[in-house]
């Protein structure tokens, strides 16, 4: 299991300590399994805790299987066999489209099996009652219950409890479907109930269900003699070896099919660990989506223009890569917010909150902050109140509450104040054109926003549009209170100055213009060294790899 993939689950659902929320969840088919899953997943913001807690729950599942099949506490030989279903279930959880309810529902089934085992009389009535309770608390996983009863009671020739349970689970499924408790027949009787509604359930996720009654039946075949015990233990261990191998292969397959790196990037982004995010992006900084996260982290640290070319940049897609469907693109919401295009960020964040399985905490935070920027305090209060009911976000939400109905506090806050000034350029709630086109009106309204300023400058630099860079500098870096011109922009203008004097169709300008607009003399001197190195060859050029000149001439975009 990938601990970061487990941690990503925390961003797909939100547990609230709220009576209405708890009651509403419990009243749904499989509501208790869902509530338990969300309770556990709320701790998954830490990948180590996510992995530890998941392994403990899988171990609990194996233990309950063993308790159900054992005849005495000396039946230790059955333990390896009982671990087998947990290995299969753990591998299935690597698929992030499979909800964590899948595991908690199975745990509820196993708990009911132990209760059934303890019943000595009126077992048919007990099986019926447990099946009905199980179906409406755990959902379609209740289908496993009668099969497990049959697998254990087969040798006693007690068929009535399992048959009664099977009829009960079928009746519950029909009632749930006809009453709209579940939307489809497959969700009434299959693991599809625990899978993303817009995705097709892979058959492999049946394996976790099937393995439990198979192991129960296998354990009942084992006699109590000492030799058979050792043989069973050895067979169980040997069975676990290929199980772990195939589980590992399946997890690698899932890692290839699903955005494994995105889980890591989202973890560091949601926790605002920008140094951790930069470190995670170093493995493949040239990939557009990786570069998006890397450059966003640099922007939040105030180092975007300063450190942009320390990494392998390959065009403007590295700053922001838009997708055709913005509804569930959480990365785009984060990037738009960092760029200062908070209206577009809210558009994506709002759609994402509505699209994922439950609430997405990071998107709720963006919505709350943008509403504070807009001055829509009643709406912001609703988001803040929601997050106050989630333990991990309570402190953050209480801090934001201090901005409600307090324009002065909002405007003096570095983040919220900048966002409010940026919104003065926007008369809409969504992104109409593209991220960079909309960036320039925002800068006209708020040229003091350093992140927005550097995103605009770096975009033009990465596209190698030197003429636009020159005009950008004249518009936004020429005022007395303008920030210092970043070194890569200085390098770009020194190059363009010489280029303009040697090419037709380009209005020439000299170093005097450069000096007037923030270019330092040492940059001009270093450019002369670069020209000599360019003639000398690749070895001499190595020390210029981090310069804009090297990017301009040697990087293909």
pLDDT at 295 over 60: yes
Q: Are 483 and 450 in contact (CB under 8 A)?
A: yes
Percent of the chain topping pLDDT 70:
90
Helix ranges (H only) for 139-225 are: 144-153, 160-178, 185-189, 206-220
Across the range 479-487, mean pLDDT stands at: 87
In tens, the pLDDT along 267-280 reads 999 999 999 999 99
User: Residue 91: which of 102, 81, 80, 82 has the closest Cα?
Assistant: 102
Mean pLDDT of 297-303: 95
Residue 361 is predicted with a pLDDT of 92
User: What interhelical angle do 123-138 and 101-118 show, nearest 10?
Assistant: 170
pLDDT digits (tens, 9 = 90+) for 78-99: 888 888 899 889 988 988 889 9
Q: What is the pLDDT at residue 152?
A: 81
- What pLDDT, in 10s, does the model give residues 142-200? 999 999 998 888 777 778 888 999 999 999 999 999 999 999 999 999 999 999 887 88
Q: What is the pLDDT of residue 555?
A: 87
pLDDT digit string, tens, across residues 51-77: 999 999 999 999 999 999 887 777 777
Angle 250-256-261 from CA coordinates, rounded to 5°? 120
pLDDT of residue 326: 46
Least confident of 215-229, 290-304, 536-550: 215-229
Q: In whole angstroms, how far apart are CA 153 and each of 80, 123, 232?
A: 22, 11, 20
- Pick from 201-215, 365-379, 431-445 the range whose average pLDDT is largest: 365-379
Looking up tokens 């209405």, which residue turns up?
20
Give pLDDT, residue 247: 66
Around Cβ 431, how many Cβ atoms within 10 Å?
20
Asked if 165 and 127 touch (Cβ cutoff 8 Å), the reply is: yes
Mind spelling out the 3-state secondary structure of 471-533? Answer: HHHHHHCCCCCCCCCCHHHHHHHHHHHHHHHHCCCCCCCCHHHHHHCCCCHHHHHHHHHHHHH
Identify whether the C-beta of residue 297 lies closer than 8 Å to the C-beta of residue 321. no
pLDDT at 148: 92
Closest CA to 215 of 91, 62, 57, 59: 62
Mean pLDDT of 248-264: 68
Q: What is the pLDDT of residue 327?
A: 42
Residue 246: the pLDDT is 66
Task: Give the length of the chain.
Answer: 557
Q: What would the pLDDT profile of 310-364 be if each residue is shown by its tens digit? A: 999 988 888 887 665 444 578 889 999 999 988 888 888 888 876 556 788 999 9
294 has a pLDDT exceeding 90: yes
Question: For 1-34, what is each residue's pLDDT tens digit?
Answer: 788 889 989 988 889 999 999 999 999 999 999 9
138 vs 534: CA distance, rounded Å: 69
Please report the pLDDT score of residue 539 as a whole number: 82
Q: Are 435 and 339 in contact (CB under 8 A)?
A: yes
Q: Number of helices (H) and strands (E) in the chain: give both, helices first.
A: 31, 0
Q: Which residue has the higher pLDDT, 119 or 157?
A: 119
pLDDT band (50, 70, 90) for residue 250: low
| Mean pLDDT computed over every residue of the chain | 87
pLDDT value, residue 70: 84
pLDDT at 486 over 60: yes
125 band by pLDDT with thresholds 50, 70 and 90: very high
């Amino acid at each position: 299991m990938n601990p970061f993939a487990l941690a990503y689950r925390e961003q797909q659902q939100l547990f609230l300590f709220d009576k209405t929320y708890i009651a509403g969840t419990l009243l749904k088919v499989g509501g208790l399994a869902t509530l338990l899953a969300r309770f556990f997943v709320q701790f998954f913001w830490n990948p180590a805790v996510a992995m530890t807690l998941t392994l403990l729950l899988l171990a609990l599942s194996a233990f309950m299987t063993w308790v159900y099949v054992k005849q005495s506490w000396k039946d230790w030989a059955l333990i390896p066999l009982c671990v087998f279903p947990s290995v299969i279930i753990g591998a299935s959880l690597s698929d992030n489209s499979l909800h964590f309810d899948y595991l908690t529902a199975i745990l509820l089934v196993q708990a009911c099996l132990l209760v059934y085992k303890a019943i000595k009389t009126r077992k048919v009535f007990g099986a019926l009652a447990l099946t009905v309770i199980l179906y409406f608390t755990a959902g379609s996983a209740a289908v496993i219950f009668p099969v497990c009863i049959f697998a254990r009671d087969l040798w006693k020739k007690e068929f009535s409890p399992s048959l009664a349970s099977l009829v009960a689970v079928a009746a519950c499924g029909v009632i749930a479907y006809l009453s709209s408790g579940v939307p489809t027949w497959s969700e009434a009787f299959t693991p599809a109930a625990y899978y993303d509604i817009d995705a097709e359930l892979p058959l492999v996720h049946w394996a976790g269900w099937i393995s439990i009654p198979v192991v129960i039946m296998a354990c009942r075949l084992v006699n109590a003699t000492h030799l058979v015990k050792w043989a069973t233990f050895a067979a169980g261990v040997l069975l676990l070896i290929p199980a772990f191998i195939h589980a590992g292969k399946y997890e690698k397959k899932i890692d290839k099919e699903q955005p494994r790196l995105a889980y890591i990037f989202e973890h560091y982004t949601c926790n605002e660990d920008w140094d951790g995010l930069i470190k995670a992006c170093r493995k493949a900084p040239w990939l557009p989506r990786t570069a998006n996260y890397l450059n966003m982290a640099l922007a939040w640290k105030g180092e975007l223009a300063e450190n942009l070319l320390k990494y392998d940049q390959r065009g403007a897609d590295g700053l922001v890569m838009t997708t055709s469907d913005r509804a569930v693109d959480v990365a785009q919401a984060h990037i738009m917010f960092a760029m200062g295009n908070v209206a577009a960020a809210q558009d994506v964040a709002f759609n994402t909150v509505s699209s994922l399985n439950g609430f997405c905490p990071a998107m709720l935070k963006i919505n709350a902050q943008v509403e504070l920027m807009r001055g829509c305090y009643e709406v912001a209060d609703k988001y803040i109140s929601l997050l106050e009911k989630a333990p991990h976000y309570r402190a953050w939400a209480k801090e934001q509450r201090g901005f409600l109905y307090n324009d002065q506090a909002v405007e003096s806050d570095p983040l919220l104040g900048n966002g409010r000034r940026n919104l003065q350029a926007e008369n809409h709630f969504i992104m109409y054109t593209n991220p960079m086109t909309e960036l320039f009106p925002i800068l006209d309204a708020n040229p003091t926003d350093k992140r927005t300023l550097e995103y605009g400058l770096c975009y033009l630099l990465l596209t190698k549009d030197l003429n636009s860079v020159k005009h950008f500098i004249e518009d936004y870096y020429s005022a007395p209170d303008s920030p210092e011109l970043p070194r890569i922009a200085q390098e770009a203008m020194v190059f363009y100055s010489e280029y303009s004097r040697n090419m037709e169709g380009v209005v020439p300008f000299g170093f005097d213009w450069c000096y007037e607009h923030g270019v330092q003399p040492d940059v001009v001197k270093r450019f002369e060294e670069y020209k000599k190195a360019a003639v000398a060859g690749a070895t001499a050029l190595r020390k210029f790899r981090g310069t804009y000149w090297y990017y301009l001439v040697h990087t293909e975009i």
